[in-house]
């Protein structure tokens, strides 16, 4: 029987990641040396037991489980969690735009894509949500909140990668992301970045 940690109602767990994110992380783990068994061997017994290959893509699961899986995969690949997360987010953005979310993310320019990106991010995490703070012809500012303080680097990497991959897909040749100092939202953080591009 799968661990209750894999379920969307795991007691005390507030932050969630969608099943599509876990399925993508499992696919990455399977491509690592030794595959998923080698990755699970680096995880805690609780986390390793909770990893199941049959996640429902539309269901939200414990974010800490995704973090644990990606951390172990990064260790096996000789990289860091933020580096792995950013690379994966770049690939996810391109896959979403060209595949599963091509209608929702249809855009003819970086500016049009920027308007749609918060909605794309909000498909993957809960209760963390992104909203546009400012928008111009060659930049936009986005606030992401709430974010657990211990996963600040992960959320930054995921957003940087997704923004870069998405904007480059529609013609941006250079994309930079600058993070503002985090602010507090109750016991958690609010993260704000400014992304600029050259077409």
Write out the chain's pLDDT in tens, 199 residues: 334 444 433 444 689 999 999 999 999 999 999 999 999 999 999 999 988 766 888 899 999 999 999 999 999 999 999 999 999 999 988 887 776 655 555 777 999 989 988 888 888 999 999 999 999 999 999 999 999 999 999 999 999 999 999 999 888 999 999 999 999 999 999 999 999 999 8
pLDDT of residue 53: 67
| One domain, residues 50 and 114 | no
| One domain, residues 133 and 184 | yes
- The whole-angstrom separation of Cα 131 and Cα 166 is 16
Question: Is residue 89 domain-resident?
Answer: no
CATH code: domain of residue 136: 3.90.1520.10
- The whole-angstrom separation of Cα 88 and Cα 162 is 8
What is the domain range of residue 41? Answer: 4-79
pTM: 0.88
Q: Based on the structure, what is the number of domains in the chain?
A: 2
| One domain, residues 114 and 50 | no
pLDDT of residue 99: 66
Say if residues 118 and 131 touch (Cβ distance below 8 Å). yes
pLDDT of residue 114: 92
The DSSP secondary-structure symbol of 120 reads: H
| One domain, residues 62 and 131 | no
SS3 13: coil
| One domain, residues 62 and 122 | no
| One domain, residues 74 and 132 | no
pLDDT of residue 100: 65
């Amino acid at each position: 029987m799968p661990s209750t940690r894999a379920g969307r109602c795991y007691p005390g767990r507030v932050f969630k990641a969608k099943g599509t994110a876990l399925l993508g992380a499992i696919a990455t783990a399977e491509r690592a040396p030794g595959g998923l068994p080698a990755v699970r061997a680096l995880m805690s017994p609780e986390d390793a037991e909770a990893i199941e290959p049959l996640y429902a893509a539309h269901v939200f699961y414990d974010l800490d489980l995704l973090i644990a899986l990606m951390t172990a995969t990064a260790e096996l690949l000789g990289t860091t969690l933020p580096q792995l997360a950013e690379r994966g987010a770049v690939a996810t953005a391109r896959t979403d735009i060209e595949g599963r979310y091509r209608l929702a993310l249809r855009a003819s320019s970086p500016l049009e894509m920027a308007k749609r990106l918060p909605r794309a991010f909000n498909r993957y995490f809960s209760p963390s949500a992104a909203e546009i703070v400012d928008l111009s012809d060659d930049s936009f500012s986005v606030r992401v909140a709430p974010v657990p303080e211990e996963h600040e680097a992960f959320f930054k990497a995921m957003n940087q990668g997704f923004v870069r991959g998405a904007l480059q897909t529609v013609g941006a040749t250079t994309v930079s992301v600058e993070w503002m100092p985090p602010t507090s939202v109750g016991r958690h953080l609010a993260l704000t970045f400014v992304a600029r591009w050259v077409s």
